[in-house]
Each structure stands twice: as structure tokens, then as C-alpha cells.
Amino acid sequence: MADELKSMIVQEKANMAQPAARSPQGAGLFPALLVVLAFVLIAVFATRELSSIDVGYHLRAGQDFLSGGGWPTQDNYTYTCRDTPFMNSWWGYQVSVALAFRAAGTAGVVLYHEMLLIATFLLTWRTAIVAGADRASLPLLMVTGVIACEMRFEARPEVLSLLFLAAELFILTRRAEGKRAPLWLLPLIMVLWVNCHSFFIIGLGVLGVFLIIGIASRGRLGAVDSALLKWTAASIVVCVINPYGAKGLLAPLELLSRFDQSNIFAQSIGEFISPFTMRTTPQMPFFPHWPIYCFRILAVLSVLSWIPLWRMRRYRDIALSALFLLLSANMLRNMPLFVVAVLPGLASAYRLHERLTTRGNCGRILEGGGLAICSLLAIALALRVIHNAYYIDDRRAQRFGLGWSRLEQPVDAANFMKLANLPGSLFNHLNFGHYLTGAGCGPVFIDGRLELIGEAFYKEYLGILNDPGKFASAVAKYGFHSVVLPHAIAPTLLTYLLNSTSWRLAYVDHLAAIFVKNSPDAAKFVDPKLTAILSEHPSAPPFNQLPGLGGRPRRSGLSHWLHGTLHALDYPREEYSRALFHFIRGDLPTAERLFARVIDRTDGAYYELYLNLGSVLWRQNRRDEARACYRIALEDDPNNALAQKRIGDPSFN
């Protein structure tokens, strides 16, 4: 085994050492630089605060396993699904994450996933080299692919799936290219995969693609690669080596219903949206432009590559492209799988370097200039990620860092809940379920394990969240005595609870609000700081001194882009969220001052702040000032329906 691996390494070094024909001195500088920058981007994107709603549960489950809890057969973390049969197919991933957390806390978890992602793309890059990638196309596609994937650079078990897929494709591509390949590693990959994530079924599909394409390319049914067939069969058999046996092998089939767009999960959960239909709406005026557009570019290039790949008889790349395009076209969560699977084939199909160098010095100048420009853009992009401008421009809550994301995780609310020792059972928003479990605030009402809660219970939960009548019925049915929810994305229930005599506000911060059932002893569960928060009177600049409204000019356009590239960008999310909370509870003067403060602190760079300030002023019947705010909002968003409607309202005239 050692001799075989040593031979592979020597062969790879020999391939890398071959000089490029008739390349001018230094011509390889920019391709190499751009590949390096692609890996820098991976590291920068992956150095992200822990914002995944699932990570708290995975940490808790891994810690329980290491403490002797074993493999669960029923749910232990929610009181609504406690008797429901449950298969924990992520236990291997959870143990690895728990070990990383024990070693270095949240920084260990972030760096662990960063290491996995770098290893994944290193294998993908090597696979492309083995497949004969073009030296100019590969770095361009690498950078584009990294950007297309970054939305999923989270603390999730699917990151291990990406690594296993990349390793499998590296081995199979070597085999298909007639190079020495350790096929015996395939069953080892699969037995690890089946115990870490349900996407192992995709690995079996890839093995089938290489087998079938191998037979078809030889032109007769009997021309099968016997060694590959043997190790593929072994890879299938070892998949039953999991805590649940054959049931664990068949568990991914239950996920197929989510591909149907009529499914309730597909209709209401962001990661199940198709990247081809994702667009801005009045309810979602922002979305991640860079990754979505980079994916669409790669998808188009993938389809167009089928013609040159067919001519090159690279049928496996066409099959992989079609398979993974189908998977990713239905759900944006599958975009990284698509990138890892198709990038080597794309880099082989588009021979950019060969075509440019045939045009002499002019072509070489175009190639070098294009790669140099892309290198500068990659550097600027990395700086914008570090300064958080990349995320803020799309109003995303992710931030560069190594700790918990307090913009997404109810860290402070969970600390209060543990100190207050709230009585009875809890109703929680789904986004909070896993963190509360990990923080020891459970059992919870609901969390993000969709295969556990099922469609019927999920529909019931949505009804509770959006219909006060169904909420009252749920109180009688489940008997919960406290409620915790993110106030910015659950305004209907928040408004009901604020105005209900049956519930009392006990705690509020920039993210979460906690209510307890009104009773004679409810006061002892109220945060002592709550009175000060509810009666705050923040200072703010006068209306006519705000940027764009009589004060200094707004920061916009190129100046805003350069500012975010060269300086750490601040979007006062906490003050903004508090302003929304006061707006919902009807404290319009406080909401007005907080919105004005945020506008002033951000130099008026974000139009939605003017839109919200305009809504506050509208409710106060300050029509001229509201109209001025709506006009600024229309400068950046000319199709904003609310601003158009209110400026066109006759009552303004």
C-alpha cells in the first residue's frame, strides 16, 4: 500500500514538472496566483461566525455520545416528538465536531470546517489536473466555484459530504485516465460517509455513473472494469455498517419528497429554493447575488461544455454534469455538490490557454491581463469578506470571525433563560431550537430536524406562528408557559403577545423576545433590565441633519464599495432590530430615533433604513418628512411598491 501511494505521488510530481510548450518567461505567474487566491478565498469565507441553526444540536448530540449516550432510536431533545422513532445518521460528524469544540471551543469548530473545505477543493483541483485541465480556465473556474459554494460554508455535516465526494471523484478520475488508483479506499470512504451524512447515496450514484459510462465507452456489455465493479459492490455492502443497518442505508429515500416544489418544506425553507428561481421580492428585497450568479454562470457553462466533452469522449463528465445540475437546480443547498462534481470537466472542456496562445503575443497578453484583473478582484473580494462588506451588501447576518453569531443565535436569550429558570414547557421558533438544545435550555417545542418533525407537525407549527387563534389552541394542547422568538421575523405572534393580557414580556434583546404566562408570580421571571429597555430615549440627530435629508451627502456607489473594501464596515444590526421591536410595539418616537441613529452611523448607505423611518413618520402623520424618506428609498430601489404607493397616495398632495 505504501509503495502504491508513493508511486502515485512520484507520477503526479512528474506531470507537474513538465514545462509548458513555448510559454514566455513568467507566463505561469497569474494562473498560479489565482489558484492560490482561490484557496485564500476558501479560508476567508470559511472563517465565519457560527450562524447555522443546526450547529447547536450537532454539538449537543456529539457531546452526549462522547459521554456514553450511544445511538438514539427515539428523539430526546423535543417534548413534542419525544416518542417519535429517530435515526441519527450524523453521529460520526457530531462526534468530530464535539471533539473540535472540546479542543478549542467555537474557534475549533470554525477552523475544523475550514480545514475540511480546503481539503475538498485541494482534491478537486488535483482531480482537474489529472483530467487534463486547461491552465487558464482552471483558476478562473476555481474562483467562480468557490464563490458559488460559499453560502454553504457553514458548520454542517454536508461539509464532510463534499470532502468524501471530492475524494471519490479523485480516485475514480485517476482510474478513468489510466493512472494508478487505490480503489480499495472507496469502501472506506463510503463506510465513513454513511455514518456522517445522508448524502452518501450520492456517492453510490457516482460509482454507478463511472461503471455504466465505462461499459458504454467500450461499446459492449461485457467490457466491464472488473476491479471497479468489485470495489463498487464492496462500497454498497459496507453501507449497512451503521447503527441502524439496512434502515440506515434506505433512510435517504425519505428525503426525495423534498424535491417536489409542492412540499411544505420546499415552499417555506430557504435552502430548498431553486437557485434559478431565486429573486428579490417585496418580502425578500435582498439575496446573495455573488454566489447565485456565479452558480448560474457555471450551470450555463456546464451545459455548453457537453459539445466539446462529447467530442473528447468525456462521457463521464457529461453524465456528472447532468446529474448534479438536476440536483442543484431544485435546491440551492446542493450547489457545492455541483461545483465539486463538474469543475474538473469544465476546466478540461474550455481550452482557454490553448486558444489564446495560438494568437501569439496578443493572445498571451489577453490571457495574462484577464487573469491579473481576476486576481485583483479576488483580493478585493477577500478584503470585503474580512471587513464584512460582502455580507452586509446583501444584508446577510454572516460575519467574519471565530465565535457564535449573536445576530443569528439566541446566545443572550439562552443565558437569561438558564438564569431565570423559566417554569414549564417552552414554545420556540424553529430557528432557535437547535441552539437552545445545545445551550441546555431544552427540551424544546421544535427544531430543524425535518425528517423528525414531519410535514403535518410543521404545518401545525406554521399555523401557531402566524394565527393567534391557533396559538391559543396550541397553549391548551401543549401547555407551554413561555415563548421565545426572533421578533424581527415573527411580527404576527409578537404583536399578539405584546397586546395579550395572558402573556407578559419578560426579556428582549436585539434578536429575541421572551414571554411568560401571566400569573401572580410572573414578575420574578422578568429581566431587571427590561424597564430601562422599554423606556429608553436614545439621542438622535435632527431629521434635517441626516444624510440625504439636509445633512451631508449619502455614501453610495463607488465610494461605498471602496469604503467597504478598505475599512471594516458597520451595520448597526442591534440598534436596527431594537428599532423594529419598538415599531411593532407602537413606541414610534423611540423607533424613529433609533432608525435615525442607524442612518447617521452608516452615512445613509442603506435605503431600507429610510424606508422604515418613512413608515414610522407615516404613522405619526408627518407626511412631508415621510415622503422625503420614501424618495431616497426609490433612488436605490425604483420598484419598491410601498414607497411608490405612499408617494402616489393623494393624501400626500
Beta-bridge partner residues of 85: 74
Spatial contact of 383 and 566, defined as CB atoms under 8 Å apart: yes
The proportion of the chain whose per-residue pLDDT surpasses 70, expressed as a percent, equals 90
- 203 vs 166: CA distance, rounded Å: 10
- C-alpha gyration radius of the chain: 27
Which amino acid, one-letter code, is at 453?
I
Which amino acid, one-letter code, is at 293?
Y
Environment class of 476 (CB within 10 Å of its CB; exposed 0-12, middle 13-18, buried 19+) = exposed
Spatial contact of 387 and 569, defined as CB atoms under 8 Å apart: yes
Q: What is the pLDDT of residues 479-533, one digit of tens each?
A: 999 999 998 888 899 999 999 999 999 999 999 999 999 988 889 999 999 999 8
Roughly what angle, to the nearest 10 degrees, separates helices 226-237 and 200-218?
160
Looking at residue 286, its pLDDT comes to 67
Beta-bridge partner residues of 482: 426, 516
- 320 vs 524: CA distance, rounded Å: 61
Backbone angles phi, psi at 604, to 5 degrees: 70, 25
Looking at residue 259, its pLDDT comes to 58
Lowest-confidence range among 69-73, 202-206, 300-304?
Answer: 69-73
Q: What is the largest CA-CA distance in the chain?
A: 87
- 431 vs 410: CA distance, rounded Å: 9
Give the contacts of 635 (CB within 8 A, at least 6 positions apart): 607
More confident residue, 391 or 275: 391
How does residue 364 score in pLDDT terms, banded at 50, 70 and 90?
confident
Looking at residue 255, its pLDDT comes to 66
Q: Which of 227, 224, 214, 225 is nearest to 316 (CA)?
A: 214
- 548 vs 23: CA distance, rounded Å: 54
Q: Is the dihedral of CA 231, 233, 236, 237 positive or negative?
A: negative
More confident residue, 83 or 493: 493
* Per-residue DSSP letter, 504: E
Q: Is the dihedral of CA 520, 523, 525, 530 positive or negative?
A: positive
Q: What is the pLDDT of residues 172-219, one digit of tens each?
A: 999 999 999 999 999 999 999 999 999 999 999 999 999 998 887 665
| Average pLDDT of the chain, as a whole number | 88
Q: Provide mean pLDDT across the span 533-551.
A: 91
Q: What is the pLDDT of residues 442-482, one digit of tens each?
A: 899 999 888 788 888 999 999 999 999 999 999 999 999 99
- 506 vs 242: CA distance, rounded Å: 45
How does residue 281 score in pLDDT terms, banded at 50, 70 and 90?
low
Spatial contact of 302 and 342, defined as CB atoms under 8 Å apart: yes
Which amino acid, one-letter code, is at 87?
M
Collapsing DSSP states into helix, strand and coil, what is residue 8? helix
- 358 vs 120: CA distance, rounded Å: 34
Collapsing DSSP states into helix, strand and coil, what is residue 503? strand
Q: Which of 88, 120, 251 is nearest to 189 (CA)?
A: 120
21: left (phi over 0), alpha (psi -120 to 50) or beta: beta
Spatial contact of 601 and 571, defined as CB atoms under 8 Å apart: no
